[in-house]
Amino acid sequence: MNIGPYKPTGHWIDEGGKVANEVEGTRVRFGGVAAPLLYVSATQVDAVVPYEVAGSASVDIEVEFKGTFAIATGVPIAPSAPGIYTANGTGQGQARCLNQDGSANSVENSAARGSTIRLFGTGEGQTTPPGTTGEVIQDGVKRPALPVSVKIGGIEAQVLEAGSTPGQVAGAFQFDVVIPQGVAPGPAVPVVLAVGSARSQDGVTIAVK
């Protein structure tokens, strides 16, 4: 079935200042709770899992498009499910990463060992103070309630800060880490993020000199 409009459409902000949970006739509900929608199309819908499902073992997910429904039952809910954003949006390859000077990390613009980089991700779970579904972060930092750790090139990195990203929907976050001096330099050094006991996807890298 088509799960969204033929013409891909991005998110919009509703009258309450939150990311809308209905876009072009598309809605998604987790356990009956409406989810903020970031992108909708006939074949793909990107939604933010509502904070209200935290603590549930599983939920039913309902996708509605102009009165037609698709339902997935008993979908497991985890305390965290971290993922690192990548430059090409596929979840693989070069991380979306800023070097210490604010420039984009790339093979042509690698980061020095011992320098601080900023990475971006999602799936951190509940925050402190608690997150609000659909909120666009303005003032104040909301930090993951679970512990955050990062490995670069297989070596534990110092995490200086991890918290919400200003101007982005609650559920997106950024983390500043120091590249360990012992990391072997290269154009594709693996990066792994852990929040609680869950770790991010394999295949994400940064360039290190």
> What's the pLDDT at 117?
98
For the chain, the structural domain boundaries read 9-76, 83-208
Q: What is the pLDDT of residue 136?
A: 95
Q: Which of 59, 32, 61, 26 is nearest to 44 (CA)?
A: 26
User: In the structure encoding, which two tokens stand for residue 26, read together?
Assistant: 């598309």
Could you read off the pLDDT tens digit of each residue along the chain, which spans 209 residues?
Answer: 688 899 999 999 999 999 999 999 999 999 999 999 999 999 999 999 999 999 899 999 999 999 899 999 999 999 999 999 999 999 999 999 999 999 999 999 999 999 999 999 999 999 999 999 999 998 888 999 999 999 999 999 999 999 999 999 999 999 999 999 999 999 999 999 999 999 999 999 999 99
Kindly report whether the peptide bond that precedes residue 129 is cis, defined as omega within 30 degrees of 0. Answer: yes
The token duo for 117 is 């980089």
Can you tell me whether residue 196 is helix, strand or coil? coil
Q: What are phi and psi of 36, to 5 degrees?
A: -60, 140
Closest CA to 39 of 14, 64, 4: 4
φ, ψ for residue 53, nearest 5 deg: -90, 0
